[in-house]
Amino acid sequence: LRLFQEYSRSRNELQRKDDEWVRKAVRAQQKALHELKLIDPELYEKLPRMVIWTKRFLNTDKAVTPAASSLPLVVHGPGLTPPVEDYQSPDGDYLDTTRSWT
């Protein structure tokens, strides 16, 4: 039980440090974006929306749900694969490789 508690504490601490690291990185990105906006607003406007959505991450504790327009999802090809012609499916026989200990 004590080992489980120590493990739980260490995982909790690791999660806290990871969260702190991510928030610090996002803040640094936001600071850089703000500086870019002051220096060159035209270049700032050309940035992809995926870079700019992170400011929502810092302003709320709710789950981040970017707008559907900011997710460039492109799917090519059929949704289902057609069956292979003349395919002979196996009959279901198998070789039992279970070891016998007697």
pLDDT for the residue 38: 92
Residue 94 lies in a domain: no
Residue 86 lies in a domain: no
Q: Which two tokens stand for residue 40?
A: 């060159």
Residue-wise pLDDT tens digits, 2-22: 888 999 999 999 998 998 898
- Residue 28, domain extent: 2-65
**Domain tally for the chain?**
1
Alpha helix ranges (H) inside the chain: 2-39, 41-45, 49-52, 54-59
Residue-wise pLDDT tens digits, 54-100: 555 555 555 555 565 655 666 676 677 777 888 887 777 777 888 88
Residues 6+ apart with CB under 8 A from 64: 53, 56, 57
Distance, CA of 61 to CA of 2 (rounded, Å): 32
Residue 24 lies in a domain: yes
Residue 49 lies in a domain: yes
Residue 13 lies in a domain: yes
